[in-house]
């Protein structure tokens, strides 16, 4: 198990475009469904996936749609980061110098009193289990986070999505 990727730290990672950093530092991180948005926001990742989040219900409290949550990963080695780097899956390819990875901890989110959910696999999977407290943090397959995205049997474990409901201004991300 990685020294950083473990339930004791429960680090959460968010990929952003560098042009969004100043706005985030001034205003916080908001869900895609929020009306509070930057006019100059540079979207990265799969537009199709971003759109699908508005149609996927979160089956546990506080409920809503996935687009009502700010998505995070428990690993910096997410398949989406790979897609952004390579252009795989029709994702706009970005150079490393355009990408910033914010990191915080699910413990920090919890301490700030923010609502959140996390899953033990990709949130769209019928096999995904949803959790909304830290009591289930050890259900995550922490040893299953692999930076090898050519083996699709491993990528399901890289895709658990941790989502913070609406707005995360209360939590200062580490850049």
The more confident residue out of 119 and 147 is 119
**65-78 per-residue burial string, b: 16 or more CB within 10 A, e: under 16:** bbbbbbbbbbbbbb
The single-letter DSSP state of residue 164 is E
At residue 125 the predicted structure's pLDDT band, cuts being 50, 70 and 90, is confident
| Cα separation, 46 vs 52, whole angstroms | 10
Query: What's the Rg (C-alpha) of the chain?
Result: 15
Nearest residue to 121 (alpha-carbon basis) of 101, 103, 104, 145: 145
pTM, entire model: 0.82
Q: pLDDT tens-digit profile of 17-65?
A: 999 999 999 998 888 888 888 999 999 988 888 888 899 999 999 999 9
Asked whether the beta carbons of 11 and 105 are under 8 A apart, the reply is: yes
Convert the pLDDT of each residue in 52-89 to its tens digit: 889 999 999 999 999 999 999 898 888 889 999 999 99
Tokens of 147: 């930076």
Strands, sheet with 116-122, edge to edge from the N-terminal-most edge strand: 99-105, 11-17, 69-73, 160-165, 116-122, 130-131
How many other C-beta atoms lie within 10 A of the C-beta of residue 29? 22
DSSP string, 97-131: GGEEEEEEEHHHHHHTT--EEEEEEETTSTT--EE
């Amino acid at each position: 198990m990685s020294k950083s990727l473990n339930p004791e730290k429960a680090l959460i990672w968010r990929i952003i475009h560098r042009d969004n950093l100043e706005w985030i530092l001034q205003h916080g991180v908001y869900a895609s469904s929020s009306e509070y948005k930057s006019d100059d926001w540079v979207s990265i990742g799969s537009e199709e996936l971003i759109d699908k989040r508005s149609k996927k219900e979160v089956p546990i409290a506080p409920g809503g749609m996935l687009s009502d949550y700010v998505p995070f990963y428990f690993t910096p080695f997410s398949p989406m980061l790979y897609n952004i780097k390579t252009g795989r899956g029709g994702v706009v390819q970005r150079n490393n110098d355009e990408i910033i990875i914010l990191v915080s901890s699910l413990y920090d989110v919890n301490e700030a009193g923010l609502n959140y959910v996390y899953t033990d696999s990709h949130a769209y999977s019928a096999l995904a289990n949803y959790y909304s407290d830290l009591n289930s943090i050890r259900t995550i397959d922490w040893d299953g986070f692999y930076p090898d995205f050519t083996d699709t049997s491993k990528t399901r474990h890289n895709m658990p999505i941790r989502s913070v409901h609406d707005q995360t201004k209360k939590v200062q991300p580490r850049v």
